[in-house]
Amino acid sequence: MGGLALGEEAIARCGGMRLFYRARLSGPFMSEEATRTGTGASRISDLPTELAARRTGMAFQRTRLSADGTLMSVIRTSLSLISFGFTIYQFFQRLLKDGSLESGASHAARNFGRSLVWLGVGMLIIGIIYHVQFMMGLRNERRRMKLDGAIFGESRFPASFTLVIAILLLLIGLAAIVSVTFHLGPLG
């Protein structure tokens, strides 16, 4: 399939799939003359190369979603540890307060519950740090490839909503730590 005039749409056959394609004003796949003159008579020189660049751009989005999925796994595990630890701690604290349990017998279970809360919060902190570092590296690589003309980078690369949820859970986990350690706060 030859070059397309600006604004024309074409249907290309690639591996039995129909792909709709719209010509672009400028970019790395324009003919040299069109790039130099910037006229409306520009033509795209290589459709397969452009399709490959678009697939690479979509791969960045899939990688970002995969990183969000990994952070969701960390959130799920941290939430389980925090809630289970807080529940164990509160259960034995109430038994001690009601007099159903001797004061020395509950320390091991309460300390176990407290350590689960600490473990959940620690795991969440490490997961958030890893996620932020990975996403910054991915954004930098995407920016570099966009400047090199290897991808178009037209789609948005928004902040991770999963990261916002992880930070909110971290705040709740910190409140749980304050509650079980110092017997203060809204969860005490």
Give the model confidence (pLDDT) of 49-58 as tens digits: 778 877 887 8
Provide the domain count of the chain. Answer: 2
The token pair that represents 76 in the structure block: 């799920």
User: Per residue in 16-31, pLDDT tens?
Assistant: 444 444 444 344 444 4
| Beta-bridge mates of residue 45 | none
Which of 44-58, 86-100, 136-150 comes out lowest in average pLDDT? 44-58
| Cα–Cα distance for residue pair 87/155, rounded to 1 Å | 44
Same domain, 75 and 36: no
Q: What is the mean pLDDT of residues 127-145?
A: 93
Residues 113 and 160 grouped into a single domain: yes
Specify the pTM: 0.69
Domain shared by 81 and 141, yes or no: yes
Q: What does pLDDT average to over the chain?
A: 77
Q: First and final CA of the chain: distance in angstroms?
A: 70
The C-alpha atoms of residue 74 and residue 127 are separated, in whole angstroms, by: 6
Q: Is residue 25 part of a domain?
A: yes
Distance of CA 127 to the CA centre of its chain: 11
Query: Residues 40, 73: one domain?
Result: no
Q: Which residue has the higher pLDDT, 82 or 183?
A: 82
What is the pLDDT, as a whole number, of residue 103? 67
C-alpha to C-alpha distance for 74 and 125, rounded to whole angstroms: 10
Domain span at residue 168 reads: 56-182
137 and 117 in a common domain: yes
Residue 187 lies in a domain: no
Beta-bridge mates of residue 21: 10
Asked if 28 and 66 sit in the same domain, the reply is: no
Domain annotation covers residue 162: yes
Residue 41 lies in a domain: yes
Share of the chain above pLDDT 70, in %: 73
In-domain check, residue 118: yes
Average pLDDT over residues 90-103: 80
Is residue 63 within 8 A of residue 138, CB to CB? The reply is yes
On whether residue 50 sits in a domain, the answer given is no
Q: Which residue has the tokens 């459709």?
A: 47
User: Rounded distance, CA 127 to CA 122, Å?
Assistant: 9
Whether 147 is covered by a domain: the verdict is yes
- For the cut 50, the answer to whether the pLDDT of residue 137 exceeds it is yes
Tens digits of per-residue pLDDT, 62-89?
899 999 999 999 999 999 999 999 999 8
Please write the tens of the pLDDT for every residue from 145-154: 888 888 887 7
| Of residues 107 and 115, more confidently modeled | 115
